[in-house]
């Protein structure tokens, strides 16, 4: 059974930082590309960051220079370091894994507010 379990969300003030984690099980983690997506209320889900099995990364323009995606294949975990957070970063953040099939986590809420 495939599981992607996100953690690390919460409430943070503008300008603050959070680190999201996504622990994967039931997949050959090192073969999978991994990604973070987000969905704000009333908006479509959007890609935030991707990291391939080889470690190549890609970011949405809105988060470039502020967010960093990384992976630890020994821990079957992908991370999203989020710095200089803005209120518009408020959303549910989802972990995604893709190789032969695509899988999604249940999401973790990130709220950026005073």
Own/partner long-range contacts of 7-12 (Cβ < 8 Å, ≥24 apart): 7/108, 8/108, 9/93, 9/108, 9/109, 9/110, 10/109, 10/110, 10/111, 11/111, 11/112, 11/113, 12/85, 12/110, 12/111, 12/112
The pLDDT, as a whole number, for residue 105 is 97
- State the average pLDDT for the chain: 97
Q: Which pLDDT band, with edges at 50, 70 and 90, does 53 fall under? A: very high
The pLDDT, as a whole number, for residue 108 is 98
């Amino acid at each position: 059974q495939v599981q992607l379990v996100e953690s690390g969300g919460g409430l943070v003030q503008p300008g603050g930082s959070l680190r999201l984690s996504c622990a994967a099980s039931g997949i050959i983690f090192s073969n999978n590309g991994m990604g973070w997506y987000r969905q704000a209320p009333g908006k479509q889900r959007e890609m935030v960051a991707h990291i391939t099995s080889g470690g190549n990364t890609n970011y949405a323009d809105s988060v470039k220079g502020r967010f960093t995606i990384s992976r630890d294949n020994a821990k079957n975990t992908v991370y999203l370091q989020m710095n200089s957070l803005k209120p518009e970063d408020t959303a549910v953040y989802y972990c995604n894994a893709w190789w032969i099939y695509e899988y999604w986590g249940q999401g973790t809420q990130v709220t950026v507010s005073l």
